[in-house]
Structure 1
Amino acid sequence: MLDTVFIYSHGNVMKKELPAKYYLAHFRELIEFVTSKCMHLLEPKHSEFINKINQLDEQSQCMLARVYSRKPYLVQAQSLTYEEIISPHQAIYTLKKAGILFEPNEQHYSQLLAHLTKPALLELLSNYDEQISYKKSAAKGALVNSAREFFKSCPHELAPLYSQYVINNRSDYYEYFEFLFAGKLSSGDVNHQNRFVMRDLGLTATREGHSESLSRFETKAEGQSNYLLNRYRLAFKNITDENDYVALAPQVLVQAAYGAIAVALKNKLLVQLFKQLKNTNSELAFSLLEGCVDDSEAHEIQIREQYRLGNKQWVKARLEAIIENPLTDDLLYFADDFLMRKFNKQTRSRLSTMLADTQCVLEIDELYRGEVEQGVNDYYTGQGMQVFNTENTLWQSLFGLVFWHELFIDTPYPLCNEFDIYPQVLRLGNFYAAQPAQINERLAQCQTPQALLKLVCKNAAQYFDQPNGLFKWHNELLQPLEALILNSPIEALIDHLTNMSKHYLQLKDGYPDLMVIHNGKVHFEEVKAPGDKLRRNQLTTIDNLKSSGFEVHIAVVKWFIDPNRIYSVVDLETTGALKGGNKITEIGLVKVQHGKVIDTWTTLVNPQRHIPGFITSLTGISDSMVSNAPVFADIVKPLMAKLAGSIFVAHNVNFDYGFIKKECEMAKVPFKMPKLCTVVESRKAFAGLKSYSLGNLSKHFNLNLTSHHRALADATATAQLLLLIQKSQS
């Protein structure tokens, strides 16, 4: 049998088929990886399990792969029927005989009862009507509790049911194998088998040119501690009873952690458990913080809690020790600030001073309340500056393209398999320490802007579209990088790239929202609307950028109503609704400023598809009318020029805005504007009307709607409606 998968792409349906035994192929691929790369990470029980698997016939291996593809702990044997397995009962028998699969027994009566469907439970309980009190209308949970209470003393009564099931014991062995391959748990983080399927279908990103898989861990202790800590992490995530936190905490506390990744995970779990227990079991909670190893968050929490408890001398000594020898810049900023405010009675620390010195207040039109970064972008663009929305992407892409060779090709910590796209050396936090000579040599080759730009462009051309875990490829990726490199001091760029290579985990995020180019010089803007606060990671990154020699502003936004606003009132005619591959057939635009129409513009658009008859009846626009009209790509530039610097207005704005945004994406033209909906504003200004359709509002207010469902006529009526709304608000 072939499993058929339907894939939807750009409105088209593609049909792909998987071979009948694809589960078995994936199963064997994983076992082959473990036996060839990870034997040093296995216990004797794992090796014994692999030996049993290798002695099975193909049908039995198929059945085991199918059982392990199921989620429930108990699997009904009669449900395990597949065309590629000729005799499922024989395959199950073989697996039981080999000691790989087992039937549930009396110890599993509770899980079995919970697994039954409600009809099956009612049928079971009906055999004991005189002994059990229950209601047929009760919820399944109540029926399960009634059944558990009864069968607790006689689990042998369920013997006929036990033989109908097998235990899905994938967590005993197979889950560990998956973890060694993926570094994640299939039960909670990633569907391991689906990843193989998506790879076979060409629907998931894998590394091009992958040749050999490698072991993820060097020692058995490292592999097993990472595995067990991930099991605890999922247990924490799934806790529903508060008492389970108390039970889990000591287990995590005593669990050994080998390797940087395991230590970081254990620290994170201990801090999370502390937060759950601090108000109910403070003694246990504080012991969890003491169990953290070199963790900045744990240090900060301890200091805050001890200060709250009045242990000020301990706190002061700990703060001074951190300042003398800080784990991270982030912790140093906290210690410096806390010591200044709590002990030296100064309201402004070094960091606070830095923030105050970088702040600038910008008055931005309040229509940008939901798009504050876009408001600041438009503010600077209106002053003739070049602006890029950059945030973390700018520096992540620059870092990845400069150090591509050291991250992905010639690295002491190569990626483990084709699914790995995030550099292992960054996850470990030792990129610079692992290869300082190579990194310094790479930076030495980039001592001029031209040399740095040449390297970036070369790697972008050579490795374009290869998944990397740091940034997403797109056609405009190089434009902001070129602007950054050619308008920044090369010394500042090299210094910050060096800092990123040494402290990547601290400097991977928190970057300012915007990059602004003015008179051949770059500066950065972190945009903050009223009430917004800077996060610690942002403070760390901004300070590091400034230390490298970059100019950084904290743009504090102050809202105001701009009397000079220009409103571009837009109406579209289309072949149908936004979904389903429909296209624009006509655009009408009316520009309004100071209560007057200052410009109008309209054009038919060739949708390059048939216009349905009912649409032609509604709008009067036919296939023949648009056959010689321009396609959207031909009019996108004049349209964008018309819309520039204005507010996008429409009646039901998301419809018109959504169509233009979709068309611009297809034409690879960025489109983002503040928008205003005359439906929403009409409901506010003229409450109580029966209908807010454009036709009914035009009749009610006697608007000039001469040819309804033609773009310019509807845009003109909407513009008149906008003026009425503004008049009612004045």
Structure 2
Amino acid sequence: MLDTVFIYSCGDIMKKELPAKYYLAHFRELIEFVTSKCMHLLEPKHSEFISEINQLDEQSQCMLARVYSRKPYLVQAQSLNYEEITSPHQAIYTLKKAGILFEPNEQHYSQLLAHLTKPSLVELLSNYSEQISFKKSAAKGALVDIAREFFKACPQELAPLNSQYVINNRSDYYEYFEFLFAGKLSSGDVNHQNRFVMRDLGLTATREGHSESLSRFETLDEAQSNYLLNRYRLALKNITDESDYVALASQVLVQAAHGAIAVALKNRLLVRLYRQLKTVDNELAFSLLEGCVDDSEAQEIQIREQYRLGNKEWVKARLEAIIENPLTDDLLYFADDFLMRKFNKKTRSRLSAMLADTQCVLEIDEMYRGEVEQGVNDYYTRQGMAVFNTENTLWQSLFGLVFWHELFVESPYPPCNEFDIYPQVLRLGNFYEAQQTQINERLAQCQTPQALLNLVCKNAAQYFDQPNGLFRWRSNLLEPLEALILNSSLEALIAHLTAMSKHYLQLKDGYPDLMVINNGQVHFEEVKAPGDKLRRNQLTTIDNLKNVGFEVHIAAVKWFVDPNRIYSVVDIETTGGLKGGNRITEIGLVKVQHGKVIDTWTSLVNPERHIPGFITSLTGISDSMVYNAPVFAEVVKPLIDKLAGSIFVAHNVNFDYGFIKKECEMAGHFFKMPKMCTVVESRKAFKGLKSYSLGNLSSHFNLNLTSHHRALADATATAELLLLIQQSQSSE
């Protein structure tokens, strides 16, 4: 049997097939990894289980792999029919005889009843209609409760049903093997088989050239503590009964955590459980915080709660201890600020003060509500400055490209397998500690801005599109990096890269929204609309940038209505209505300002694919008409220049905007604008019309729609409609 998957790519359907026994191949790949790399992480029971698997015939191994690929705890035997397994019943019998698979018994009656479908439950209960009162229309949950109550006294009655199922006992051993490979447990459809399937289909990112898988744990204690904590993480995620939080909290609290990753996970679980239990069992909740080891969030919560309870001397002493020896910059900022406000009568937090006292107040057209960063971007662009929407991506990509070899090639903590794309050394938080010499040598090679840029470009060219877990590759990735490197102080760049290597987990995010280049000088803007607040991770990062010499502004936005707004009314024609694989065939643009048309522009576009006949009948645009027309990549620059600094207007705006945004991204250009929909505005301005299609509105208002479904004609009519809407609004 060939499992077939259809993949959509650029509108074309590619058919990919997996071999008949791909599940078995993936199953064996995992077992081979465990036996070759992880024997020191196994208990005797695990080794015995592997030995039993290896003694099975191929058909039985196929069946076991198929059972373990299922999600439910109970699997109906008759559903396990696969073409590659010639005798399913024999394979199941062999697995039962080997003691690997089991039928449910009387102890499993509750799980069995919950597993049944509603029709099966109704049929089962109907056999006992003289003893049980129920309604067939009842919800499944109610029927399960009725069945459980009845069969609790006579679970042996379910024996015929039990024989139709096998228990999916993957969690006994096999789940642990998957964990050793992946380093985490995932709920739902994500398991190792699916991971390998996605790899084989080319649908998931893997590290190219990864030749050998390695064990990610050094000791059995480390592996098992991480495994059990991951099981608790999934249990917490799936809790439905609040009483279960107490039991889980008690288990997590006493669970040993070996290794930095386990400690961090246990801390996160304890804090999450604290939040669930603080109003239920305050004493237990506080003990959870006490159980955290070197955790900033837990310490902050403790201080706030103790202050609320009136233990001010304890709080003051704790704050002073943190300031003397802070765990992180973030915790230091909290402690310093809390001490000043609660004990030294400071009225505002530093975060509030920074925002309130900023000298950078910008008046931005209220049409940018919801797109405030773009509004500030356009504000500076109109002043002739170069502006980049950078936020975290700028620094994460610079960091990754500068230290690519140290993170991915020459790391003492290499990726454990081809699916590991996030550097293990960053997860452990000891990058600088483990590789100080290599880091310093790498930075010492960057004696000039050009040398630093050359290093970045070299690594980008060599490793382009390789998954890395730090940033996403884009065709224009180097443009803002080049602007940053060539317009900044080299000393500041090196100093901040050093700080990131030492404290990556603290400095991986919280970066300002925009980078602005003005007269060869870089400064950064953290944009805040009215009502926005600064976050503490932003304060940490901004302070670090300032401390090494970068100029950072907090840009407080003040909304106003710009009387000089320019509206770019756009219409496009396409090869079809869905963005999936369809392309633009024509663009029309009409610019409006002060109630007048100030510019028009149009172009046919070669969609690089066939235009269907029904589209030609609708628009009049044929393959021959666009044969010599420019492709979108050739018109994108003049189009973006025309649209710059204006509001994107269209009739059903998300259609036109969405197509243009997608085409821009395909051509390697970022596209984001404030937008307005004349359908929405028409409904507000002209209530009660039967239809708000452009054709109907043109007829109703006698608009100049000369050639419907041609881009410039539709854009012209839409521009006239926009003017009518504005006149209606001004007369109200």
Give the CA deviation at 1:157: 1.6
Q: Deviations over 1:481-531 (max 9, x none)?
A: 111111111111111111101111100111111111111111111111111
Give the CA deviation at 1:634: 3.1
Give the CA deviation at 1:623: 4.1
Q: CA distance change for structure 1 residues 588 and 41 in 2, over 3 Å: closer, same or farther?
A: same
SS at match of 2:516: strand
Give the CA deviation at 1:353: 5.7
- In structure 2, the residue matched to 1:418 is 418
SS at match of 2:5: strand
Q: Deviations over 1:436-469 (max 9, x none)?
A: 1111111111132122111111111111111111
Give the CA deviation at 1:613: 4.2
- In structure 2, the residue matched to 1:336 is 336
SS at match of 2:208: coil
User: After the TM superposition, which residues 142-181 of structure 1 pair with which residues of structure 2 at under 5 Å, given as runs?
Assistant: 142-181=142-181
Give the CA deviation at 1:472: 1.1
Are 1:649 and 2:649 counterparts?
A: yes
Asked whether the 8 Å contact 2:355–2:534 carries over to 1, the reply is no
Q: Deviations over 1:396-415 (max 9, x none)?
A: 11111111111111111111
Q: Distance in 2 between matches of 1:407 and 1:629?
A: 46
Q: CA distance change for structure 1 residues 350 and 720 in 2, over 3 Å: closer, same or farther?
A: closer
Q: Distance in 1 between matches of 2:510 and 2:67?
A: 45
Give the CA deviation at 1:381: 0.7
Give the CA deviation at 1:293: 0.6
The farther-off stretch of 635-644 and 82-91 is 635-644
Are 1:27 and 2:27 counterparts?
A: yes
Q: Distance in 1 between matches of 2:355 and 2:560?
A: 24
Q: CA distance change for structure 1 residues 293 and 2 in 2, over 3 Å: closer, same or farther?
A: same
Q: Distance in 2 between matches of 1:169 and 1:724?
A: 69
Q: Distance in 2 between matches of 1:631 and 1:461?
A: 26
The farther-off stretch of 338-347 and 125-134 is 125-134
Give the CA deviation at 1:122: 2.4
Q: Distance in 2 between matches of 1:566 and 1:134?
A: 68
SS at match of 1:435: helix
* Paired AA for residue 51 in structure 2: N
- In structure 1, the residue matched to 2:67 is 67
- In structure 1, the residue matched to 2:462 is 462
Asked whether the 8 Å contact 1:246–1:277 carries over to 2, the reply is yes
- In structure 1, the residue matched to 2:671 is 671
Asked whether the 8 Å contact 1:186–1:192 carries over to 2, the reply is no
* Paired AA for residue 109 in structure 1: Y
Give the CA deviation at 1:621: 3.6
Are 1:638 and 2:641 counterparts?
A: no
Are 1:566 and 2:554 counterparts?
A: no
The farther-off stretch of 120-129 and 458-467 is 120-129
Q: Distance in 2 between matches of 1:623 and 1:352?
A: 60
Give the CA deviation at 1:115: 1.5
- In structure 1, the residue matched to 2:503 is 503
- In structure 1, the residue matched to 2:203 is 203
SS at match of 1:687: coil
User: After the TM superposition, which residues 223-622 of structure 1 pair with which residues of structure 2 at under 5 Å, given as runs?
Assistant: 223-348=223-348, 359-579=359-579, 581-622=581-622
* Paired AA for residue 77 in structure 1: A
Asked whether the 8 Å contact 2:5–2:17 carries over to 1, the reply is yes
Q: Distance in 1 between matches of 2:349 and 2:533?
A: 17
Give the CA deviation at 1:350: 6.1
* Paired AA for residue 699 in structure 2: K
Q: Distance in 2 between matches of 1:514 and 1:612?
A: 43
The farther-off stretch of 451-460 and 700-709 is 700-709
The farther-off stretch of 536-545 and 708-717 is 708-717
* Paired AA for residue 619 in structure 1: T
Q: Distance in 1 between matches of 2:221 and 2:10?
A: 48
Give the CA deviation at 1:677: 1.3
The farther-off stretch of 653-662 and 265-274 is 653-662
TM-score of the aligned structures, taking structure 1 as reference length: 0.97
Asked whether the 8 Å contact 1:184–1:190 carries over to 2, the reply is no
Q: Distance in 2 between matches of 1:350 and 1:692?
A: 51
Are 1:682 and 2:685 counterparts?
A: no
The farther-off stretch of 684-693 and 164-173 is 684-693
Q: Distance in 2 between matches of 1:22 and 1:123?
A: 37
TM-score of the aligned structures, taking structure 2 as reference length: 0.97
Q: Deviations over 1:208-265 (max 9, x none)?
A: 1111111111111110000000100111111111111111111110001011111111
- In structure 2, the residue matched to 1:50 is 50
* Paired AA for residue 563 in structure 2: P
Give the CA deviation at 1:541: 0.6
* Paired AA for residue 176 in structure 2: Y
Give the CA deviation at 1:673: 1.8
Give the CA deviation at 1:188: 5.0
* Paired AA for residue 450 in structure 1: Q
Q: CA distance change for structure 1 residues 307 and 578 in 2, over 3 Å: closer, same or farther?
A: same
Asked whether the 8 Å contact 1:260–1:428 carries over to 2, the reply is yes
Identity %: 89
Q: Show structure 2 runs of 5+ residues with no match.
A: none
Give the CA deviation at 1:356: 5.5
Give the CA deviation at 1:618: 3.5
Asked whether the 8 Å contact 1:336–1:350 carries over to 2, the reply is no
SS at match of 1:322: helix
Q: CA distance change for structure 1 residues 600 and 169 in 2, over 3 Å: closer, same or farther?
A: same
Q: CA distance change for structure 1 residues 370 and 54 in 2, over 3 Å: closer, same or farther?
A: same
Q: Distance in 2 between matches of 1:414 and 1:249?
A: 34
Q: Distance in 2 between matches of 1:33 and 1:669?
A: 43
SS at match of 2:527: strand
Q: Deviations over 1:248-298 (max 9, x none)?
A: 111110001011111111111111111111111111111111111110000
* Paired AA for residue 8 in structure 1: Y
Q: Show structure 1 runs of 5+ residues with no match.
A: none
Q: CA distance change for structure 1 residues 310 and 421 in 2, over 3 Å: closer, same or farther?
A: same
Q: Deviations over 1:659-700 (max 9, x none)?
A: 222332333333222211111112222223332222332333
The farther-off stretch of 546-555 and 2-11 is 2-11
Q: Distance in 2 between matches of 1:331 and 1:402?
A: 29
Q: Distance in 2 between matches of 1:549 and 1:606?
A: 49
Asked whether the 8 Å contact 2:352–2:534 carries over to 1, the reply is no
Asked whether the 8 Å contact 1:175–1:186 carries over to 2, the reply is no
Asked whether the 8 Å contact 1:647–1:674 carries over to 2, the reply is yes
* Paired AA for residue 635 in structure 1: V
- In structure 2, the residue matched to 1:101 is 101
* Paired AA for residue 219 in structure 2: T
Give the CA deviation at 1:125: 2.0
Give the CA deviation at 1:547: 0.7
Q: Distance in 2 between matches of 1:254 and 1:352?
A: 40
* Paired AA for residue 428 in structure 2: L
| Number of residues of Structure 1 aligned to a counterpart in Structure 2 | 730
Give the CA deviation at 1:110: 1.1
Q: Distance in 2 between matches of 1:354 and 1:531?
A: 14
Q: Deviations over 1:182-223 (max 9, x none)?
A: 011143583221111111122211111111111111111110
Give the CA deviation at 1:357: 5.8
Q: Distance in 1 between matches of 2:610 and 2:44?
A: 67
Q: CA distance change for structure 1 residues 573 and 15 in 2, over 3 Å: closer, same or farther?
A: closer
Give the CA deviation at 1:624: 4.2
Give the CA deviation at 1:149: 1.1
SS at match of 1:89: helix
Asked whether the 8 Å contact 2:653–2:678 carries over to 1, the reply is yes
- In structure 2, the residue matched to 1:14 is 14
Q: CA distance change for structure 1 residues 580 and 69 in 2, over 3 Å: closer, same or farther?
A: closer
Give the CA deviation at 1:608: 4.1
Q: Distance in 2 between matches of 1:327 and 1:225?
A: 24
